[in-house]
Amino acid sequence: MRRTFPIHGVLGFLLFLLSELFLFRKVEPFYSWFYCFAWWSYILTVDGVIYWIKGNSLITSRIKEFFLMIPWSIFIWLIFEAANLSLKNWYYINLPHSSLERWLGYTVAYGTVLPGLFETAELLETAGLFRNSTVRRRTVSSRGQIPLVILGILCLASSVLFPRYCFPFIWIGFIFLLEPFNYRMGGRSLLRNIEEGDPRCPYRLLVAGLICGLLWEFWNFWAPSKWIYTVPFFDESKGFEMPFPGFLGFPPFAVQAYVMYNFISLFRFNRGWVETAYRLHPDRKTRRLTSVLTAILMISFFILMFRAIDLETVDSYYPRLKDAYWIEHPYRAELPKVGIVSLEDLLQKTKDKIERDELALRLLAPREEVISWIEKARVALLKGLGVNHLRLLEGAGISSLAALARQDPDKLYERLTQTYPDRPIPSLPKLRIWIGAAQKTKEP
The residue from 282, 313, 344 where one domain ends is 313
Q: Are 49 and 59 in contact (CB under 8 A)?
A: no
330 shares a domain with 248: no
pLDDT band at 444 (very low <50, low <70, confident <90, very high): low
User: What value does the mean pLDDT take over residues 381-405?
Assistant: 96
Does one domain contain both 390 and 413? yes
Query: Count of CB atoms within 10 A of residue 71's CB?
Result: 18
Quick check: is 228 in a domain? yes
Residues 294 and 392 in one domain: no
Is residue 320 within 8 A of residue 97, CB to CB? The reply is yes
Q: Which of 440, 417, 441, 439 is nearest to 428 (CA)?
A: 417
Mean pLDDT of the chain: 95
3-state secondary structure of 224: coil
Asked if residue 341 and residue 194 are part of one domain, the reply reads no
46 in any annotated domain = no
How far is 309 from 194, CA to CA, in rounded Å? 38
pLDDT grade for 232, boundaries at 50, 70 and 90? confident
What number is the average pLDDT over the span 192-211? 96
Residue type, 17: L
Tell me the per-residue pLDDT of 255-301, one tens digit each, with 9 for 90 and over. 999 999 999 999 999 999 998 888 888 888 889 999 999 999 999 99
Q: How many domains does the chain have?
A: 2
Whether residues 296 and 420 share a domain: the answer is no
User: Percent helix, strand, coil in the chain (nearest 5)?
Assistant: 70, 5, 30
Residue 102 and residue 146 in one domain: yes
Q: Is residue 11 part of a domain?
A: no
Percent of the chain with pLDDT over 70: 99
Q: Is the pTM of this model over 0.75?
A: yes
Segment among 201-215, 226-240, 255-269, 311-325 with least mean pLDDT: 226-240
User: Above 90 in pLDDT, residue 207?
Assistant: yes
Q: Are residues 212 and 329 in the same domain?
A: no
> CB under 8 Å to 48, separation ≥6 — which residues?
5, 6, 8, 9, 10, 12, 13, 57
Averaged pLDDT for residues 28-36 = 94
Which residues neighbour 202 within 8 Å (Cβ) at sequence distance 6 or greater? 190, 193, 255
Question: What pLDDT does residue 294 have?
Answer: 96
**Residue 12 within a domain:** no
The answer to whether residues 176 and 288 belong to one domain is yes
Same domain, 285 and 359: no
State which residues form the domain around 368. 321-440
Single residue among 289, 313, 337 that ends a domain in this structure: 313
* Alpha-carbon dihedral sign for residues 146, 79, 316, 16: positive
Q: Over the range 354-377, which residues count as b (16 or more CB within 10 Å of their CB) and which as e?
A: eebeebbeebebeeeebbebbbbb
pLDDT tens digit string along 114-127? 999 999 999 999 99
Cα dihedral 31/243/109/387 (nearest 10): -50
Give me the pLDDT at residue 237, please: 81
pLDDT, tens only, 77-125: 999 999 999 999 999 999 999 999 999 999 999 999 999 999 999 999 9
Of 274, 295, 313, which residue sits at a domain end? 313
Banded pLDDT at 135 (limits 50, 70, 90): very high
Do 191 and 331 reside in the same domain of the chain?
A: no
The residue with greater pLDDT, 143 or 366, is 366
Is there a single domain that holds both residue 89 and residue 220? yes
In terms of domains, do 99 and 236 share one?
yes
Least confident of 21-30, 419-428, 435-444: 435-444
The per-residue pLDDT for 443 is 67
27 in a structural domain: no
